[in-house]
A and B are shown apart, each in its own frame.
Chain A
Amino acid sequence: MGITKYITKRILQVIPLLILVSLISFFIIRLSPIDPLAELRLNPSISEETLQKEIKRLNLDKPIAIQYISWAKSFVKGDLGYTSDGEKVSVKLKERIPNTLLLTSIVIFLTWMVGIPLGIIAAVKKETAFDRILTVLSSIGMAIPSFFFAILLLMFAVKTGWFPVGGLTSYNFNDMNLFHKFIDLSKHLVLPVAVLFAISLSGLQRQMRANMLEVLDSDYVKFARAKGLSEFKVVFKHALRNAVNPMITLLGFEFAGLLSGAALTEYVFQYPGLGRLILEAVMKSDINLVMASLMIGTIMLILGNLIADILLMLTDPRTRKTQEAK
């Protein structure tokens, strides 16, 4: 089975999953005692016409099953309705999704660049002082609540004044030249990235260490050593390939964890991402926005898992075999 065929098969599998997710979230939100238009009604800048249009679009006067079908129809068409401020939901999402993707992709990139080597070193130098220190540090990283760590960093930032606090860009961002824009953006990103990086690094480092130890203990590595290969070759040429494969599966999970963890971090740093958007939407009981961002979050998560699966297929020939066997 070719890779393209596999990918199409996987994408086709995603569709029923998305339908199920949308059903679950739709019913949770609709069966709640909240009036989806309460905010819209209270907002004086929303005209009666928009309100009626919204009621009609959501079919609020019809039974819930029909409501769902009409919602699904307009969702597929890309019409996500209006927020309680009267803005288009799709515009708002377009603004926020890149920010969250930027944050998470930087974090994932950094954690892999640092976590994998650290995991390897810790495994090779098992039970040395270096390994012990890393173990202690990763225990701390795994136990510290993201929002508490974020507050501590905020405290640091406010005291030293080294980093700007809140938002993604300074107020005069549009007047800057490209270089200064880049500097400004990075300065705003340092703190949220640091929080998420520290937390996901600990898990990744530990997992990599565990995988590496398991592989180093296997017969074929012992054989490679017995052949008299240099330790460097044994570790990087033979052991690493097998130790990294399970990590790729974890990439999908990591993405999911980051989406959730980012929500709290974004909240503390006032970062304009998807997580904070859904939080604000939930607080204002802005149903359209909640439903849409929930779906987008789910799609992002599923895509993350899909990418991980495809990567695994490319790196691990065994998964290709089992696919063929099916």
Chain B
Amino acid sequence: MEFLNKLFKDKFAKCAFIILAVLYFVILFADFISPYTSTYSNRDMAYAPPSKIYTIDEKGKLSLPYTYNYVRQYDSSLMQTVFKQDRSKKYYLKIFPKAEKHKILGIIPTSRHLFGTENGGQIYLLGTDINGRDVFSRLLYGGRISMTVGFLALFIVFPIGLLYGGISGYLGGIIDTLMMRFAEATMAIPSFYLLIILAAILPSGMTSVQRFSLIVVILALIGWAGFARVVRGMVLSIKEEDFVQAEKVMGASKLRIILKHILPQTTSYVIIAMTLSIPSYILAESGLSFLGLGIQQPDASWGNMLKEAQEFTNILYRPWLLTPGALIFVAVLSFNLLGDAIRDILDPKSENKYTR
């Protein structure tokens, strides 16, 4: 509790915490909040611009919010397809309308969504992509992957790194030398090169769950070595302390000493390193998916959604396709600010130091 109070004293950390809390809340209830399901696609509406929402009607009077549907036309003078609003019919926005069926949290079946339009209306808050899928809905579903991949990778990296560094540091001697040379070798390979190679050798034809879990494992394979090295350094000094010597005299096994007595001493460093390394996993996943080596279509992730934004025509005429990038930025920034604040609290000595 005291920790949280300290954390919230920092204005930036407070903002970052709130932003992250909102993001996680939204992706948790993505099925309910998004107006469309993850499989929705309207091929006639490829690259439709964001729906305009009006609160003042054509007579200049205040009205309930409404929107118009788009119709696709071919403009022969411009030689391209354009989207025009169909002004003949207004569609009022509704709260809790009935639409496609889904399950909240995967348990509660319902066909209600948070918002939507009257029957027959379309609402694309952030436009649609090449397959006529609602970008806003996909941002929420994609967030589920992009925002969890980092956490899951951490749960692999940290146990491995702790155990590896702990054993290496405690045993010392030739085992230590061998283990550290191996760790250094994996660190010597440019990490992004290794990442794309590992992602590329994944066999095709996996289910999306399998692919997701393997991507997590690959991300974890990149990060463990640096962490293990730092842990080893800490273990080297901790193992000389009296309480470890006492345990030894009492005849505790080596593994017990490492797990029960030495590693718990590194807790505050581990927490700091964890929060500060989440952003790099988010960035790595989105980078991979951006290249087409990570999460594959039709599953959404912020990285693979941004892939479309590379084409020149999309850059010029469809700026709404850039929104996933903005979200990655916001998420990473928030994690960085939060991590900095947590470090300052847990490790006041290194107040101005920015750990790598």
Interface of A toward B, CB cutoff 8 Å: 16-17, 20-21, 24-25, 28-29, 32-34, 139-140, 142-148, 151-152, 154-155, 158-159, 165, 203, 206-207, 209-210, 213-214, 253, 256, 259-261, 263-264, 267-268, 275, 278-279, 282-283, 285, 290, 293-294, 297-298, 300-302
Contact = CB atoms under 8 A, between A and B. Distances in A.
Contact of A297 (B189, B283, B322): B189
Nearest to A31: B201
B315 A21 contact: no
Contacts of A25: 189, 194, 197
Given A140-B333, A148-B329, A158-B315, 5 more contacts: A25-B194, A158-B316, A263-B192, A263-B193, A294-B194
Contacts of A301: 188-190
B108 interface: no
B193 A24 contact: no
B315 A154 contact: yes
Nearest to B315: A155
B187 to A, nearest CB: 9
Interface string B197-211: 110110100000000
Contacts of B65: none
23 contacts: A28-B197, A33-B201, A139-B337, A140-B333, A143-B333, A145-B287, A145-B328, A147-B286, A147-B290, A152-B325, A158-B315, A203-B354, A210-B352, A253-B356, A256-B190, A256-B191, A259-B193, A260-B191, A264-B192, A275-B193, A278-B196, A279-B291, A283-B292
A283 B315 contact: no
Contacts of B319: 155
Q: How large is the interface on B (under 10, 10 to 19, 20 to 34, 35 or more residues)?
A: 35 or more
Interface in B312-329: 312, 315-316, 319, 322, 325-326, 328-329
A299 to B, nearest CB: 9
B147 to A, nearest CB: 14
B197 A207 contact: no
B185 interface: yes
A251 B336 CA distance: 22
A133 B167 CA distance: 45
Contacts of A206: 354
A124 to B, nearest CB: 13
B352 A213 contact: yes
Interface in B325-356: 325-326, 328-329, 332-333, 336-337, 352-354, 356
Interface string B283-321: 100110011110000000000001001101001100100
A33 B185 contact: no
A139 B333 contact: yes
A268 B312 CA distance: 11
Contacts, number: 137
Contacts of B192: 259-261, 263-264, 275
Interface in B256-291: 279, 283, 286-287, 290-291
Contact of A285 (B200, B306, B326): B200
A297 B193 contact: yes
Contacts of B322: 148, 151-152, 155
Contacts of A34: 201
Nearest to B313: A158
B156 to A, nearest CB: 17
B336 A139 contact: yes
B86 to A, nearest CB: 30
Nearest to B189: A298
B191 A210 contact: no
A16 B191 CA distance: 19
Contacts of A17: 181, 184-185, 188
Contacts of A21: 185, 188-189
A158 B310 CA distance: 12
A273 B329 CA distance: 26
Nearest to A203: B354
A214 B354 CA distance: 12
B186 interface: yes
Contacts of A213: 352
B40 interface: no
Nearest to A155: B315
Nearest to A267: B291
A324 to B, nearest CB: 23
